[in-house]
Each structure stands twice: as C-alpha cells, then as structure tokens.
Amino acid sequence: MTNLSDLPLAAICEDHRDLVEEVDRLARICQRPASSCRCTECPTVVHEACEASLSETTAKMLQLMLEHFEREDELMLRLPRTRAAIQHCEAHRHAHVEFSARYNKLVSTWHHADVASCIRACRDFMRDWIHQHALRFDAELMSLASQAARA
C-alpha cells in the first residue's frame, strides 16, 4: 500500500483559487469597460500605470503557475506506477509544458501601446486554459490520487 496520507491535495486546490484570483486581478487592471478601452484614449500616466501592473501581474501569474505545476508534479511522482497513472502523468506533464510555451509566446508578442488588448488576450487565454485543464487533467489527477489513498 502506498502512503499517500499527506498528499498536497488541499494546497493544489488553493493554488487553483489563487490563480483564478490573479486572473480576476488582471481583468481589473484596465479601469474602463473592457470592450471599449483603447489605450490611445487614456492619459499617459494611466497608460503607464496599466503597463506596469500588467507586467507585474503576468510575471506573478507565471510564477504561481510554475510553482503549481511543481506541486502537481510532486503528486504525480507519488502515484503508484499503474498503466493509467503513467499515461496520465505523461499527458499531464506535456500539457504543463505546452502551457508555458503558449504563455511565453503570448507575453512576448505583446505590443505595449495596446495594454487593453494584452489584458483581454491574457485574461481569455488564462480563463480558458485553467478551466479546460482543471476539468480534464487536474480532475483526473485528483481521482487517481484519491483512488491510491484508498487502496
């Protein structure tokens, strides 16, 4: 029997909540209605403050994501090596690597003159990614971990 009694399941759920909060914070950077803001209409001082908040928030979000992936990886390493677990871990790790590549690409292609569009693009990407990933991979990981803890 595998000792999985101290699995970081609660910490992983907390990470998910923190990440969603961070995405909400990102969405609030731009004070004007998301669909109508054009950065060219904002005073320079407002625009610069938005740009600084965007850089800070996206850096923090990436850091939270990477720490979260490490925590999930630690959990995956502790699963019994069943066929289902091996297949899951391979696909799940691949999804995490793919996230980092897509996120870095998104951030690197931003044009700083249009912070409002960057915010919208990042917010939509993060919301979709977290939602889809959590429903598929994280839910499966939790289920495998719970099964192992009960075995």
Q: Report CA 27 to chain centroid distance, whole Å.
A: 14
For CA atoms 95, 99, 102, 105, give the dihedral sign: negative
CB 141 within 8 A of CB 76: yes
Amino acid identity, position 109: T
Q: Write the CA distances from 121 to 15, 16, 109, 125, integer angstroms.
A: 22, 20, 11, 6
Out of 30, 42, 75, 138, point to the residue binding Fe ion (CB under 5 A).
Answer: 138
Q: How many residues does the chain have?
A: 151
* Residues 89-128: x where in contact with Fe ion by CB under 5 A, - otherwise, as a string: ----------------------------------------
Q: How far is the CB of 99 from Fe ion (least distance, A)?
A: 8
Rounded to a whole number of angstroms, the minimum distance from the CB of residue 28 to Fe ion is 23
Part of the chain binding Fe ion (CB under 5 A), chosen from 30-38, 51-59, 74-82, 137-145: 137-145
Stretches 33-41, 58-66, 70-78, 115-123: which one binds Fe ion (CB under 5 A)? 70-78
> Is the distance from CB of 79 to CB of 89 less than 8 angstroms?
yes
Of 80, 53, 72, 83, the closest CA to residue 141 belongs to: 72
Asked whether position 22 contacts Fe ion by CB under 5 A, the answer is no
Question: x-or-dash pattern for Fe ion, window 72-91, by CB under 5 A?
Answer: x-------------------
Binding segment for Fe ion (CB under 5 A), chosen from 26-34, 105-113, 114-122, 129-137, is: 129-137
Binding residues for Fe ion (CB under 5 A): 72, 137-138
